[in-house]
Amino acid sequence: MSIVATRSSLRTVIALLAAAAAILAATGVVQIEAFQQPSSLKYGLTIAAPLIALLACTMEHPLRLITGLTIVAAPFVGATASLASTRVSVLVPLLIAGAGLAIISAPAGAGRLSSVGVAGVLAFPLLLLPLAIGSSNHSFIVTLGLLLAVAWLVSQTAQEPGGMKAVLVAVAMSAALQSAIAIWEVRTGHQLNLYGANGNTQLSAANYVFYYGKTLRPFGSFNNPIALGDVLAIFLPLICALGLTARARSHRIVLLATALLAGAGIALALSRAGWIGALGGLTATVLLLPRGLRRRVTPVLLGGAALIVVVALVVAGPAVRGRFASIANPTAVHGVSAAQQGPALGDQDLLQYWHVAIDDAFLGHPIAGIGIDNLGDYLRDRVARSGAGISAGDAQYLSANSTYFQILAEGGLFALALFLLLFRGLYRDLREGLRAFPILGAGLAGGVVALLICWTTDYTIQNEPVAACMAILLGAVAAAGRSGSRIRRAPVG
């Protein structure tokens, strides 16, 4: 029996089983048996899951459907359910299904690693010693594993013919959903709760992470506004580049509206790193576009940016102006508004965190660092103001507020080697990708610039939803690198 016939038979069997499972789930039996605490959402998921499998069996490119759903669901990875007494994330079944489809469909070029892929493969070996001396690194291992799994799945999908655009369409949908949730949070003052509650009013207005003065900082389905700002900043150049490749006018309008919506989400999150990252990413995208297109695009982007600023000023004017003013002098506590004093004190702490992370942790333990997930206690013991009143258990929430400094402090020269491999891989794959996708490649480069900027003052990648979203960009860059490499090596004529 041929491979094609075998795959067709397998699809038929899976489709029949999925149809039977959907019928059974509709009776409510599956929900009762699978979950300890049934709910309407879980009931809907038990029906939707087999229907998605059934739909995938009827599609020519089922991997795109599963990967697209994974991308949209990535920000919700923290949502779990008790399945047979085990906590399972919503992303787990999608990743399992996607891995199976990727292996069965065997996308072209899957045998050779991209430059970014090499860094991914070496991530765990290089961090083995820092992990071994770490005191509590289970969360880090899970997060890194999730990042690699999502990046691999996205790269496999994006290497299919037309797969890159399918991935970026899902990115646009994810950004639109997160921005819509953020706007809803600002308007209602409620926190999104997937478990049935009307909202969460326990966030303290005194906590500048969630409030700036009396202005709520939305965070979508993430755990803080900075994470939302980082992810939307990374996605925005991809959406803009996708819009530039759309042929239908209606598609361009929809993608332009999506980009404006994402920009509004970034603005309302009041994340300075997100603002700077988005600006840097869009600038890099424009500079890498073909010259003729660059001239036509620049006025449109400037007009869109102006519109976003106007909307943000109307919705949260004083807060936006205060946050923007703090960029020039972030640690000033005198002569500023009461709303700015809390963030300014936090920025003063940040400088101390950086000093301890580099001078004490990295330079004091240069080979393997102080161990993965050990920096929280290190900071608690050495930063006086932040250490006051913080218990040993709460020290896990302290970080260097910089992805670079955090990983270097905890991983030493092994982490530095991993960073160098990643930077080399990003450069080489983006260079190849620009040959394969001149416009989309420019968007991917813009996304990478935004990512590297956000990593400077944030350590949001430690959160699983953020890691999963950043993995989408890394996987797309890896796929672009592989595609560009194949085009360059293809025989002429």
> Is 71 in the same domain as 133?
yes
Asked if pLDDT for residue 5 goes beyond 80, the answer is no
The pLDDT tens digits of the residues spanning 423-477 come to 999 999 999 999 888 999 999 999 999 999 999 988 999 999 999 999 999 999 9
> Is 122 in the same domain as 149?
yes
Chosen domain end from 33, 58, 83: 58
Residue 345 lies inside a defined structural domain of this protein: no
Phi first, then psi, for residue 83 (nearest 5°) are: -110, 110
> Is 123 in the same domain as 22?
no
Pick the more confident residue, 455 or 293: 455
Lookup: tokens for 15: 């489709």
Q: Is 86 helix (H, G, I), strand (E, B) or coil?
A: strand
Domain that holds residue 274: 63-334+399-489
What Å distances lie between residue 154 and 103, 272, 373, 478, CA to CA?
Answer: 13, 29, 28, 9
> Looking at residue 86, what is its pLDDT?
66
Strand-pairing partners, residue 83, are: 35, 86
Count Cα neighbours of 122 within 13 Å in the Cβ-side half-sphere.
Answer: 18
> Is 33 in the same domain as 86?
no
429 CB-near residues (< 8 Å, 6+ apart): 114, 115, 116, 477, 478, 480, 481, 482, 484
> Is 411 in the same domain as 481?
yes
Chosen domain end from 58, 86, 103: 58
If pLDDT is split at 50, 70 and 90, which confidence band does 165 have? very high
Pick the more confident residue, 396 or 95: 95
User: 80-83 and 86-89: which strand pairing?
Assistant: antiparallel
Residue 271 lies inside a defined structural domain of this protein: yes
Q: Compute the 3-state secondary structure of the chain and give helix, strand, coil in percent, each to the nearest 5.
A: 75, 5, 25
Residues in the chain: 493
Asked if pLDDT for residue 258 goes beyond 80, the answer is yes
**Distance between CA atoms of 139 and 128, rounded to whole angstroms?**
15
> Looking at residue 328, what is its pLDDT?
63
Residue 390 lies inside a defined structural domain of this protein: no
Residue 346 lies inside a defined structural domain of this protein: no
Decide: 446 and 85 in contact? Cβ < 8 Å.
no
> Looking at residue 16, what is its pLDDT?
80
For the segment 190-202, the average pLDDT, to the nearest whole number, is: 58
Global pTM value: 0.88
DSSP string for 207-268: -TTTEETTEE---TTSSSHHHHHHHHHHHHHHHHHHHHH--SHHHHHHHHHHHHHHHHHHHH
> Is 166 in the same domain as 314?
yes
> Is 484 in the same domain as 448?
yes
261 CB-near residues (< 8 Å, 6+ apart): 175, 176, 179, 180, 183
> Looking at residue 470, what is its pLDDT?
97
Q: At what angle do helices 138-158 and 163-188 cross, to 10 degrees?
A: 130
- Of 8-22, 98-112, 133-147, 335-349, the range with the lowest mean pLDDT is 335-349
> Looking at residue 34, what is its pLDDT?
67
> Is 302 in the same domain as 422?
yes
> Is 88 in the same domain as 35?
no
> Is 15 in the same domain as 154?
no
Q: At what angle do helices 403-436 and 464-489 cross, to 10 degrees?
A: 30
Alpha helices for 399-493 (secondary structure H): 403-436, 438-457, 464-489
> Looking at residue 83, what is its pLDDT?
59
The pLDDT tens digits of the residues spanning 399-416 come to 888 999 999 999 999 999
Chosen domain end from 10, 26, 58: 58
Decide: 127 and 369 in contact? Cβ < 8 Å.
no
The pLDDT tens digits of the residues spanning 200-214 come to 444 444 455 677 777
What percentage of the chain carries pLDDT values higher than 90?
44
> Is 307 in the same domain as 158?
yes
> Is 114 in the same domain as 263?
yes
**Distance between CA atoms of 464 and 467, rounded to whole angstroms?**
5
Number of domain units in the chain: 2
